[in-house]
Every structure is written in C-alpha cells, then in structure tokens.
Amino acid sequence: MSALALAAPAVLPTVLASGSQTSGAEEALFWVLAPVMVLAALGLLFVRKAVHAALCLIVVMISLAFLYVAQGAVFLGVVQVVVYTGAIMMLFLFVLMLVGVGASDSLVETIRGQRWAGWLAGIGLVVVVAGVLGTAIYPDPVGMEEANADSNPVGIAHLIFSDYVFAMEVVGALLVTAALGALVLTHRRRLTPKRGQRELADLRVEGGHHLAPLPAPGVYARHNAMDVPALDPYGNPIESSVPRVLRVRGQEADAAEYAARIDRVLAGRSAKGDGDNVPPLSDPDGQQVGAPDIADAVAGVDLEGDDK
C-alpha cells in the first residue's frame, strides 16, 4: 500500500493538475462522478431494503475516493477505500446479515406527522447549506503543489507526528476504548451453567437411560431388516432397537411373530409353523431347515422392509 501511495503522486499531478486551476480531465471526472454520487445518495434515502442502501453508500464512498485523489489527497483516497469501504461498510454488511437481510422499513408512523416534519427539516437544511455556500467568499485557491512537495503521505505524516501528535494519541485511546466497548456491549452473560462432557455423562447416569448405544435392530442370522426388533437373551423383543421413526409411523414388524419363528426353528420345525410333520434338520429336497420362507416373510411384514 505504501508503494502505491508513494508512487501515485508522481503520476497523478501530470494527469489531474491538483493545483489552483482544475484541468479538463479533473472536470470530466467530476461531472461523471458527481451525478452518480448524488443518485446513489438518493438511493440511500429512497431504497427499501437496507442491503441496497449499503451498496448505494459503497458507490458514494468509492467515488469520493476518486475525488480525493483528483484533489491531491492521495493518502486520504487510499484510506477512504481501505477504511471506509473495506472495513466500515463490510462491518455494516455483517451486522445486516446478523440482524436479517429481509428486514425492511415499516411504513407505520408511530409519531404523527414525523414524516412531514422530517422532510421539512431536510429541506430547511438544504436551504441553510445553500445559503452558506452561496454567500461565503473563498480566497483564490492556492493548490497543493507546495504542500505536496515531498509527496502527500509524507507531508501528512510530518503534520500528524508534529502538530497533531497529541490528537493522535487521544485517537489511539479512543480506538482502544471503542474496541472494549464493543466487546462489553455484545457480551452475553451465561444464564445457565455450562454443560461439559463430564456434566452430560453424569446426567445420563442419573437418568438411568442406556449408557451404551442402543441395540441394533434385526434378529441376526435370520433378519437384519430395520423394522425387525432385536431379541434380548430371553427371547423378548427389544422395542427400542427399532428406529423411532419406524415406530412412530407404525411400520414396525410384529415382534412376537418373529420371536415365535425363532422358537419354531429351534424346535426343529419350519419357520412358518404350519405343521408339525416337517422332518427335522434335513429335508428330502435338500432344502435347509429353518431357511426363511421369503414369500411369507414379505407378506407378513410391511412393504418398507426390503431384504428379508
């Protein structure tokens, strides 16, 4: 940045004479930028959404940076872009995002006649400013050549650190105070004690819930579908092994039926349990005993379970 700031004055005064008289280039720049700036400023006044207002203000600020450089205030032009558009407006946009982008002005007047009073005061201010600017007598412009003799940033640095050094110190204190103030103002006091890992574990033990993960659904070696409840060592289905969503929807498979099938298989009969005449262990057709009857399993359960 310093290289840019130091290199700029060598180039610029030849293009836009920052002297007492304005050059044609500066005039053209002014007449291009001034209407844009006024329009953007009016946008700030009339645009409905706050984000658009922020964009309008950014346009005004960048145009102002151009005008500063054209007037020989190169350092201020750079600071305008870096501090104003770069830092302050980005802070505005951050807060806008925090508060909610969609928030737009309400048109309900809470104070009666406030709108008209505001317009009146605004127009009054325009009249006053116009009167002051019109009647004031300005001396003949001197120009910045002499003041910017050893480049604009160097001249400003000499002034800041000699005549204005006390103001500089005060401004430093002000910045520190502002930073602290922002920290204090946005600090939120904790209303409930903080819950760490330790507290959460204690809470779980006190509650008497499962400390380990919940059992997985499915009766292994026969079904691993999500809707079939797992069995505990005594053969009773464990309700909590089926996902909550399936239980709420009522898509859970009939636990008793599956438990009974296991019993039947263990007793050496067909899983379907439609007769006692089925020979145990080996089948004449070579079919395995206890092999799940797929059609039956599918018919017995809901459609959601895929691989039975």
Partner 1 sequence: MSLDHYLVLAGILFSIGAATVLLRRNAIVVFMGVELMLNATNLLLVTFSRIHGKLDGQVLAFFVMVVAAAEVVVGLAIIVSIYRTRRSASVDDVNLLKS
Long-range contacts of 111-120 (CB under 8 A, 24+ apart): none
CB of 2 to partner 1, least distance (A): 16
Do the beta carbons of residue 155 and residue 147 sit within 8 Å? yes
Q: Does 36 bind partner 1 (CB under 8 A)?
A: no
Report the alpha-carbon distance of residue 256 to residue 249 in Å, rounded.
Answer: 19
Report the alpha-carbon distance of residue 164 to residue 6 in Å, rounded.
Answer: 22
Q: Does 274 bind partner 1 (CB under 8 A)?
A: no
Q: Does 167 bind partner 1 (CB under 8 A)?
A: yes
Q: Does 191 bind partner 1 (CB under 8 A)?
A: no
Q: Where are the alpha helices (DSSP H) in the chain?
A: 2-15, 24-46, 50-70, 74-79, 89-99, 114-135, 152-160, 165-186, 197-207, 244-249, 255-266, 294-300
Q: Does 266 bind partner 1 (CB under 8 A)?
A: no
CB of 161 to partner 1, least distance (A): 10
With CB under 8 A as the contact rule, the residue among 12, 17, 59, 64 that binds partner 1 is 64
Q: Which is nearer to partner 1, 187 or 198 (CB)?
A: 187
As to burial, measured by CB atoms within 10 angstroms (0-12 exposed, 13-18 middle, 19+ buried), residue 172 is exposed
Q: Count residues contacting partner 1 (CB under 8 A)?
A: 86
With CB under 8 A as the contact rule, the residue among 181, 268, 279, 280 that binds partner 1 is 181
CB of 3 to partner 1, least distance (A): 20
CB of 21 to partner 1, least distance (A): 9
Residue 288, classed as helix, strand or coil, is strand
With CB under 8 A as the contact rule, the residue among 14, 177, 236, 288 that binds partner 1 is 177
Q: Which is nearer to partner 1, 187 or 244 (CB)?
A: 187
CB of 162 to partner 1, least distance (A): 10
With CB under 8 A as the contact rule, the residue among 25, 32, 104, 276 that binds partner 1 is 104
Biggest CA pair distance of the chain: 122
Q: Where are the alpha helices (DSSP H) in 196-252?
A: 197-207, 244-249
Q: Which is nearer to partner 1, 129 or 203 (CB)?
A: 129
Q: Does 149 bind partner 1 (CB under 8 A)?
A: no
Q: Which is nearer to partner 1, 84 or 238 (CB)?
A: 84
Kind of pairing between the strands at 230-231 and 237-238? antiparallel
Q: Does 41 bind partner 1 (CB under 8 A)?
A: yes
Nearest Cα residue to 258 out of 294, 226, 231: 231
Q: Which is nearer to partner 1, 16 or 301 (CB)?
A: 16
Q: Which residues contact 227 (CB under 8 A, 6 or more apart)?
A: 217, 242, 246, 251, 252, 253, 301, 302, 304, 305
Do the beta carbons of residue 194 and residue 220 sit within 8 Å? no
The dihedral built from the CA positions of residue 229, 233, 235 and 237, taken in this order, carries a sign that is: negative
Q: Does 151 bind partner 1 (CB under 8 A)?
A: no
CB of 210 to partner 1, least distance (A): 38
Q: Does 298 bind partner 1 (CB under 8 A)?
A: no
Q: Does 55 bind partner 1 (CB under 8 A)?
A: no
Q: Does 262 bind partner 1 (CB under 8 A)?
A: no
Residues 196-255, interacting with partner 1 (CB under 8 A)? none
